[in-house]
Structure 1
Amino acid sequence: MPTVFTVQADSLEECAAQLALLCSVLGLSPLLRPTQSAGTNRWLARAVPTTKAPAKEGRG
């Protein structure tokens, strides 16, 4: 599984705004749009990297 970045916030608006910021600054793609977390009343969103790491050079 790739690295996953998580945003938690008190409101849907704040969670969505911070997810958008995280994606734009780090070049991520949303994996889980803002969803209210059961039992905590907090909003949760996730994102993953969109770019693959450069291939390592082989020896030869």
Structure 2
Amino acid sequence: YSDSKSPTDGHARDMQWKSMEMEIESLLEKLLDVNEAMSRCAAAATPTTSVSQKLARHRDILHEFTQ
């Protein structure tokens, strides 16, 4: 039995992974922007416990994904 996959298959797979990596990085940057915008909105409004908890949770999620 021999592996009939060509070296270009590996290259295509690497390019696909790189593309997904770039998309994930872009989405994480967007999440950071959303978190910052939510923080600005919350700072301009009357603070409530639920808003503070939601902001904290969104920051935690971003932190978990960017470690």
TM-score range, shorter chain: 0.3 to 0.5
Higher helix share: 2
Higher strand share: 1
TM score, norm. by length of structure 1: 0.33
TM score, norm. by length of structure 2: 0.30
